[in-house]
Structure 1
Amino acid sequence: MSQLKQTLAKKIAEHSVRTQRLLKEFGNVVIDKVTISQAIGGMRDIKALVTDISYLDPFEGIRFRGKTIPETFEALPKAPGSKYPTVEAFWYFLLTGDIPTKEQVDEVLKEWKVRQVVPSYVWDAIRALPRDSHPMVMLSTGILTMQKDSKFAKFYSSGNFNKKVAWEYVYEDAYDLVARIPIIAAFIYNLKYRGDFQVAPDPSLDMGANFAHMIGQCKEYADVARMYFILHSDHESGNVSAHTTHLVHSALSDPYYAYSAGLNGLAGPLHGLANQEVLDWIIKFEEKYLKGAEPTKELIEKALWDTLNSGQVIPGYGHAVLRKTDPRYTAQRNFCLETPGLKDDPLFKVVSMIYEVAPDVLMKHGKAKNPWPNVDAQSGVIQWYYGVREWDFYTVLFGVGRALGCMANITWDRGLGYPIERPKSVTTDMLEQWAANPPQL
């Protein structure tokens, strides 16, 4: 180890003791309206962001434009022959807060087809990457490559930049991005996992059905895509991908810069990458504890206690905000229960039985603030059932859906003229001074 690294290791170890003492003994000391624990702990629960696109209530779950997930699915016009709305109808709803008419959805569908044409240089850029690159690297690169044609960037550089109409150019880029990202995602899937067998988009299909078509899926998968992209679209603005997109765009970086950055945050194992980790854990859990046996409550309960007592966690359970079963989990669980074949799938049976047993086990264990499942506890099983078993790709699917919420949000950011985001930092010395002499508020 180099002298520099040794010195740094020593200083980090010494400093860590100070940080942990502040959290343990003085975490509730208020410093200018926030506590020491909030300042150190990732700004948790500080109400400092504004969005009307979605709101996450700890005890109710996500609402899109004021509507719960069931209410959203019920209210929006459905895809032909489906009980699920088109993603295009949902895009209109996220942007405006209004339930579109059939005519308005048809207009969006028509415009979507024009915007979904991806420039050929995007394919060149993705192909130039090492073939074993993670698909999220490919997706982020593909989005960033389109920046050279950003309408917002050209408007800003034109010499005629006007803040009052800037949102119109963000809207153009955002609309192009959400229309193109499923095409890029399908290209990446085919490039990496289907021997570069590319399938052209079908202009007669809506986004969900088109995505299923391009990756060689069955027609039933169209509903999986519609449901998945809508459920993963937004989760208010504090999560990493949404906040990163907002933060980068607040510097007036165009939507391509902003969402490429958001995707890079989504790729983290504490965020979007968690879905593949959960599925990996479930498969290994089944192999280790069940060994082909029917997943009874007794077997699952013993296996979960063995897991916890060995110092491991139960992936897919708990959430930074929610204190109930994630409604996105429930929506996907209901899809499984209502789909012939899927409800009897061995892997789904394991997931379903874990859901029946795990909350009680976690409550008795006593260390989980939220013993209920989140969206990641369920989503991978559906993809696995339909043959999308390359779980490195699951976060790409998440990224396609999340683009809808992020692009709707930054369009409104510019429309309302929100300023550059710039929170204030403090030093550890300052925190220790406040801990010794709490400010008089």
Structure 2
Amino acid sequence: MSVVSRSVSRLVPSTIRTNSIVALQQKCYASTQKTDLKEVLRELVPKEQKRVAEFKAQNKDVSIGQVTVDMVYGGMRGIKGLVYETSVLDPNEGIRFRGKTITECQAELPKAKGGEEPLPEGLFWLLVTSQVPTQEQVEWVTREWNKRAAIPQHVVTMLNNFPAQLHPMSQLSAAITVLNLGSKFAKAYSDSVPKSKYWEYIYEDSMDVIAKLPTIAAIIYRNLYRNGTAVGAIDSEKDWSWNFATMLGYDNKQFVDLLRLYLTIHSDHEGGNVSAHTSHLVGSALSDPYLSLAAAMNGLAGPLHGLANQEVLIWITKLVEKIGDSPTDDQIKQYVQDTLKTSVVPGYGHAVLRKTDPRYTCQREFALKHLPNDKLFKIVSQLYTVVPKMLGELGKVKNPWPNVDAHSGVLLQHYGMKEMNFYTVLFGVSRALGVLSQMIWSRALGFPLERPKSLSTDGLIAFVAAQKKPATGAGTKA
């Protein structure tokens, strides 16, 4: 249960207490049949502003945790110091999008005609409103994004002139930054728009950049891996993922559905991860969504964040080179043992989760249904049966189970996307849904400039020494 959820539970009758703050929101705010997302937000924002203001007023002095020296030196791991509304990561249940598990999202969110996986448009509506959208509402988002998808010519020219050696993520970040020229929030801020209106312009910029990301990503892909061939035009009748897949050059219906699933499950992972926190931090300076998202993409490009699925695939590729594509369990075990002598098994373990990542599970289910005989998938399945037990026997691993990155690369490889450097771009397109949903609410709720206090090691040593020093007099403070 999140800190905010626990705090709110003290304020409401036991009959409506819940493990999820989102469930409380849904009790308070009935779903609407309106299809214009901004109009829905106009109704939700004042209600949420009032709820948060009342909560803060009544609980401003309540302590929500303790910070240790180990946390400070450990990358602030586990410090409760950030409000992030759109998703919460539970150690046992995995990610919840506005209170919904991955399985619930797959079951409840609208799907494309003939598709089996949830549409990212529906996930975005859920993240922004905390309400499961209707089919009509999702179709409205699709039409809206298709209308906003055009890329300014100067951005296209810039992308076409990047050197082929420039990493796809660097190109994505640069293109998003340059789109800032058309920021509606930046213009409104320079025109002294009142703070109460900030969220409306953040919303407009967020919708614009999300709409343009598939085309930008597709241009990068085509330039690098398809000899600069044209991406084609947006089909106004098709959904966001379908257009993305087509512009990339893939027309396999299963791949389109895989992309819908991929873009949904990678969208958000609460606020403490590097990309989400970066966008939150940069946005708190009132940088517009383009600048904030570009900063998030630079964080996502790091090898300890968005490159993990690529590292998994490289490791599996080396496994195949060494012991073949039909290894025995004993051969797998030996390969894992050899790996553990010098490093870790990529794709296994998680900083928060203490069970198999539900995002891994849903990808596994997709593979079992559509590509059960794929040789790399069979190896992934073998690893699933072998690695957790081996890591558990070491006695040092808190979570020996696979995470989302242990599976996604193999699925993309199966459908012909073998360019591993591009995988993080797909991740980035997806992550925009989550971080920009939160940014709308950050400005709607008036979150201030983020500015934590830092200490030097000398200062921390002195502070700890003072805390340990026994009291010397009756009136001495600890």
TM-score, L = length of structure 1? 0.89
2:160 maps to a residue whose letter is R
**Aligned counterparts of 1:275 and 1:306: Cα–Cα separation in 2:** 20
Per-residue deviation, 1:303: 2.0
Per-residue deviation, 1:99: 1.2
- 3-state SS of the aligned residue for 1:62? strand
TM-score, L = length of structure 2? 0.82
Other-structure match for 1:362: 391
**Aligned counterparts of 1:154 and 1:306: Cα–Cα separation in 2:** 57
2:91 maps to a residue whose letter is P
Per-residue deviation, 1:274: 1.3
| 1:83-162 → structure 2 map (5 Å cutoff) | 83-158=116-191, 160-162=192-194
- Of residues 335, 353, 357, the one that matches 1:322 is 353
- 3-state SS of the aligned residue for 1:56? strand
For the 8 Å contact 1:343–1:349, the answer to whether it is kept is yes
Q: Is 1:313 the equivalent of 2:344?
A: yes
**Aligned counterparts of 1:215 and 1:109: Cα–Cα separation in 2:** 18
For the 8 Å contact 1:332–1:378, the answer to whether it is kept is yes
For the 8 Å contact 2:87–2:95, the answer to whether it is kept is yes
Q: Is 1:185 the equivalent of 2:214?
A: no
**Aligned counterparts of 1:359 and 1:282: Cα–Cα separation in 2:** 16
Per-residue deviation, 1:142: 0.8
Q: Which has the higher contact order (CA 8 A, sep 6+)?
A: 1
Q: Is 1:374 the equivalent of 2:406?
A: no
Q: Is 1:242 the equivalent of 2:276?
A: yes
Other-structure match for 2:297: 263
| 1:323-402 → structure 2 map (5 Å cutoff) | 323-339=354-370, 342-402=371-431
Q: Is 1:424 the equivalent of 2:442?
A: no
For the 8 Å contact 2:143–2:236, the answer to whether it is kept is no
Per-residue deviation, 1:298: 2.2
Per-residue deviation, 1:296: 2.8
Q: Is 1:221 the equivalent of 2:252?
A: no
**Aligned counterparts of 2:126 and 2:154: Cα–Cα separation in 1:** 32
2:128 maps to a residue whose letter is L
Other-structure match for 1:198: 230
**Aligned counterparts of 2:172 and 2:273: Cα–Cα separation in 1:** 20
For the 8 Å contact 2:148–2:208, the answer to whether it is kept is yes
1:420 maps to a residue whose letter is L
2:435 maps to a residue whose letter is C
Per-residue deviation, 1:85: 2.0
For the 8 Å contact 1:125–1:141, the answer to whether it is kept is no
For the 8 Å contact 1:126–1:138, the answer to whether it is kept is yes
Q: Is 1:433 the equivalent of 2:462?
A: yes
1:97 maps to a residue whose letter is S
**Aligned counterparts of 1:177 and 1:320: Cα–Cα separation in 2:** 30
Other-structure match for 2:315: 281
- 3-state SS of the aligned residue for 2:451? coil
- 3-state SS of the aligned residue for 2:467? coil
**Aligned counterparts of 1:33 and 1:276: Cα–Cα separation in 2:** 36
**Aligned counterparts of 2:253 and 2:175: Cα–Cα separation in 1:** 27
**Aligned counterparts of 1:250 and 1:52: Cα–Cα separation in 2:** 15
For the 8 Å contact 1:209–1:221, the answer to whether it is kept is no
Other-structure match for 1:21: none
**Aligned counterparts of 2:344 and 2:143: Cα–Cα separation in 1:** 47
Q: Is 1:77 the equivalent of 2:106?
A: no
- Aligned-pair identity in percent equals 53
Q: Is 1:231 the equivalent of 2:265?
A: yes
Per-residue deviation, 1:286: 1.9
For the 8 Å contact 1:59–1:322, the answer to whether it is kept is yes
For the 8 Å contact 1:82–1:223, the answer to whether it is kept is yes
Per-residue deviation, 1:306: 2.4
**Aligned counterparts of 1:297 and 1:117: Cα–Cα separation in 2:** 51
For the 8 Å contact 2:146–2:240, the answer to whether it is kept is no
2:253 maps to a residue whose letter is K
2:363 maps to a residue whose letter is Q
Q: Is 1:61 the equivalent of 2:94?
A: yes
2:205 maps to a residue whose letter is D
- CA root-mean-square deviation: 1.4
- Of residues 197, 203, 208, the one that matches 1:165 is 197
- 3-state SS of the aligned residue for 2:303? coil
Per-residue deviation, 1:233: 0.1
Of residues 81-90 and 294-303 in structure 1, the stretch that sits farther from structure 2 once superposed is 294-303
Per-residue deviation, 1:190: 0.6
For the 8 Å contact 1:90–1:230, the answer to whether it is kept is yes
For the 8 Å contact 1:295–1:353, the answer to whether it is kept is no
**Aligned counterparts of 2:239 and 2:69: Cα–Cα separation in 1:** 49
- 3-state SS of the aligned residue for 1:124? helix
Q: How many residues align?
A: 404
Q: Once the two structures are superposed, what CA deviation does each residue of 1:115-166 show, in whole Å capped at 9, x if it has no partner?
A: 11111111111123212100001100110110011000000001x3211111
Per-residue deviation, 1:53: 0.6
